[in-house]
Structure 1
Amino acid sequence: MRKTTAADNENNSRRLAVDTRGLQAMLCCGKDTAIKIGIEAKARVQIGKRVIWNVEKVQRYLDSVSDV
């Protein structure tokens, strides 16, 4: 697996949706944690067998659960 760079994270944050690997890169975490966050954020979108994650919903969720 390719190492995630800061540029990857910035590119993912501008997208409407990302796949699970993109979500992992955006959150800097593993697959299980990324999926857990995505589900908690109600950001999962399934089209046929493909699953993508709504980036805006993930960002709103993280803002709502952050301590700051």
Structure 2
Amino acid sequence: MLKTNEHNASFNDLAVDTAGLQALLHAGIKTATEIGIAAGAKIYVGRRVLWNVAKIRKYLDEISE
């Protein structure tokens, strides 16, 4: 069987799920979702939640010093 909890997410991806966002940011679920919401990157596909990686990257570039 394939492992479903292993994420090889990268900033080259178009969108990632919440676990992938956590892997990208090396953060917990609370911090990752706060960053995603602040960036306006939340996407709903049916009941599934995805995060727009381009918006996350842009937001992080804007808030970094």
Q: Give me the TM-score of the superposition, normalised by structure 1.
A: 0.83
The offset of 1:14, in angstroms, is 1.1
Give 2:28's aligned residue. Answer: 30
The offset of 1:20, in angstroms, is 0.2
Structure 2 unaligned residues grouped into runs of 5+: none
Find the residue that maps to 2:60 and give its secondary structure.
helix
Give 1:46's aligned residue. Answer: 44
Find the residue that maps to 1:15 and give its secondary structure.
coil
Supply the RMSD in Å over aligned alpha carbons. Answer: 1.5
Structure with the higher helix share, 1 or 2: 1
Q: Which amino acid letter does the alignment assign opposite residue 19 of structure 1?
A: D
Structure 1 runs (4+) deviating above 4 angstroms are: none
Q: Give me the TM-score of the superposition, normalised by structure 2.
A: 0.86
CA distance in structure 1 between the aligned counterparts of 2:13 and 2:59, rounded to whole angstroms: 16
CA distance in structure 1 between the aligned counterparts of 2:42 and 2:35, rounded to whole angstroms: 10
Q: Percent same amino acid at aligned positions? A: 48
Query: How many matched pairs?
Result: 61
